[in-house]
Structure 1
Amino acid sequence: MNETHALLQADSNAACAADGTVFRNPVRPQPKRDVGKALHHFRELIKDKEDTEQVFHIYEALPSKDFLPRARALTLSEHGEALRASEPFLPPILDNHAALRKLPRGSVAHAYCDFMEREGLTAAGLVAESDKMGRPKYGDLIEWYGFRQRDTHDLMHVLTGYGRDALGEQCVLLFTHGQSPSHGHLLLGYAGALNIKKQVKSRAPVYRAVREAHRIGKACPPIAEMPIRELLAMDLIHAREVLRITEPVWYARCHEVWRSEGVDPYDLLGKAMAEKLAA
């Protein structure tokens, strides 16, 4: 049985795309789960939610058993071949706001540019945070697929309507888990929600908000596997209808409750909130 498994694994690793790019570089190490490491980096992230590097450490410590089968199914398909040819690397496409602004007003592209410029973000910046880990590059199909999942994170904020507040980030992570299940998404999403409930005493329905995000993500086709250029050109409202992304009712309700209680939803765990709790 072990010999059969080894043969199947070897065949999977040896598979390659039409242009010769291997599915898995043979020097790529096997992923190993390390729950203690994941919890350590989660605690560091709680201290500073802007420390995005910690997120990548958490994912590395909690590899998903479904990641490789999903990556293989896409990258070795005709659809995956077409995506790699037209969108070899997303950040230059996403950061070219001059080109994106030429698309119609009301498009996903305009909403994306508005969001990224308002928040002071770039797709290249997310790549830089990931590169801080110093991980080697393998140039295989697994890497290309993983990059797409990383580089579409901020696009998910735009499509779902979840902001970059503490709750909005947890909701996007659980939306992502609905699309591509992983223990990293679950830890970040639900443990992050628990931390909000512990730190901010409120009637806000935080758990309902994150569970709703999880359900919306499950109903939506995998965004990382879509032609991103085509998605950016779509009308935002129409794109949400096509992708079955419904209005985040409970997330909006949390914001309403917090504001009625004198709490800034975008500073839940920041300096202002700490001073309020101390008082």
Structure 2
Amino acid sequence: MTEVFIHPDRRPAKFRPLVAWKHMQNLIADKEDTEQVFHIIESLNGRSFEKNFHAFAASDEGQALLAKKEYLPPLLDDHDWIRALPDGTVGRAYVDFMEREGLTAQGLVEESEKFKGAMRDFDDDYYWYGNRLRDTHDLFHVLSGYGRDALGEASLLAFTYSQNPGMGVIFISFMGARQIMKSVPKEARVMDCFREGKCNGAAASRIVREDIIALLHEPLEAARARLNIAKPVAYLHALDVCADIGIEADQIQIAA
């Protein structure tokens, strides 16, 4: 069994709802200010991160991944080898998504490094696990079918909450959905998207425990079936409702 290293001086994050509320207001004002997400999560998650880590470390898959401690961003940002994979694979879908959205795995690393939270103070297995959660975020988009529009992000966070529970993530998801409701027709049924994200995430296998490089080689639809990731029907319905009145996905707003 792989020995887990936790720095002896590490302490769980404090539960600070008022701090989280302040950063939520900042995020509502500018949804691209992703640094606020890290502040909100640290302010609300309490001991949930530690509980999630220990469940991960106790699993056979987690043990194998901890033995390797693979660092994903350089591998995910090397699009040449991923582009060589067959059409229809998870890897090809991931590269298409990242290039279409103008994203890099390293870019998310740099955003997280702006945040001077507790996780930066320690070089231990908690830190590696936190990095892994961060570095697989965009892969969650590809596998779940939720886009990077405001509703897609809110729905994906609900999915993520069920995969890796934490009050910070579900707070951002719920508040985002609540604000989006103000800017789209009621027929879009935004809260159905929130609930669907939670249900789909709960039903799916834990993606963070997957061998990510092996996963990139799999056909996308076969991977979704194996991981039991359901189609985001409510989300796609909401996009159709909005499109019918001329609101494209990238125009859906988190109302201030």
With normalisation by structure 1, the TM-score equals 0.85
Pick one of 82, 95, 99 that aligns with 2:77.
95
- Pairwise CA distance, 1:176: 0.3
Taking every aligned residue pair, what percent have the same amino acid on both sides? 44
Partner Cα distance (1:239, 1:77) in 2: 20
The change in CA–CA distance for 1:64 and 1:223 in structure 2 (over 3 A counts) is farther
Pick one of 50, 68, 72 that aligns with 1:68.
50
The change in CA–CA distance for 1:86 and 1:233 in structure 2 (over 3 A counts) is farther
1:187 paired residue number = 171
User: Could you list the per-position Cα deviations for residues 130-150 of structure 1 after superposition, in whole angstroms to 9, with x for gaps in the alignment?
Assistant: 000134341111111111111
CA RMSD in angstroms comes to 2.0
Partner Cα distance (1:101, 1:85) in 2: 28
2:232 paired residue number = 248
Alignment gaps of 5+ in structure 1: 1-15, 275-279
- Pairwise CA distance, 1:231: 0.9
Match runs of 1:166-245 below 5 Å? 166-245=150-229
1:5 paired residue number = none
- Pairwise CA distance, 1:80: 2.9
The change in CA–CA distance for 1:123 and 1:157 in structure 2 (over 3 A counts) is same
- Pairwise CA distance, 1:78: 5.2
The change in CA–CA distance for 1:174 and 1:40 in structure 2 (over 3 A counts) is same
Checking the alignment, whether the CA contact within 8 Å between 1:107 and 1:232 is kept in structure 2 is yes
- Pairwise CA distance, 1:178: 1.1
Partner Cα distance (2:246, 2:79) in 1: 36
Partner Cα distance (1:143, 1:113) in 2: 26
- Pairwise CA distance, 1:67: 2.4
Are residues 1:56 and 2:32 paired? no
Checking the alignment, whether the CA contact within 8 Å between 1:190 and 1:210 is kept in structure 2 is yes
- Pairwise CA distance, 1:17: 4.4
Partner Cα distance (2:114, 2:52) in 1: 26
Alignment-mate amino acid for residue 108 of structure 2: L
The change in CA–CA distance for 1:139 and 1:195 in structure 2 (over 3 A counts) is same
The change in CA–CA distance for 1:33 and 1:231 in structure 2 (over 3 A counts) is same
User: Could you list the per-position Cα deviations for residues 91-117 of structure 1 after superposition, in whole angstroms to 9, with x for gaps in the alignment?
Assistant: 111111111112221110000000000
- The total of aligned residue pairs comes to 254
Checking the alignment, whether the CA contact within 8 Å between 1:17 and 1:81 is kept in structure 2 is yes
Alignment-mate amino acid for residue 161 of structure 2: H
- Pairwise CA distance, 1:85: 4.2
Deviates more, 1:244-253 or 1:79-88: 79-88
Partner Cα distance (2:204, 2:184) in 1: 31
Partner Cα distance (2:69, 2:76) in 1: 11
Checking the alignment, whether the CA contact within 8 Å between 1:220 and 1:244 is kept in structure 2 is yes
Partner Cα distance (2:55, 2:251) in 1: 41
2:247 paired residue number = 263
Alignment-mate amino acid for residue 73 of structure 2: P
The change in CA–CA distance for 1:100 and 1:87 in structure 2 (over 3 A counts) is farther
Are residues 1:160 and 2:144 paired? yes
Give the secondary-structure state (helix, strand or coil) at the position aligned to 1:203. Answer: helix
1:150 paired residue number = 134
Deviates more, 1:67-76 or 1:46-55: 67-76
Are residues 1:31 and 2:22 paired? no
The change in CA–CA distance for 1:77 and 1:251 in structure 2 (over 3 A counts) is closer
User: Could you list the per-position Cα deviations for residues 29-83 of structure 1 after superposition, in whole angstroms to 9, with x for gaps in the alignment?
Assistant: 3310100011111110011111110000001101243321331233365533421
Partner Cα distance (1:187, 1:77) in 2: 27
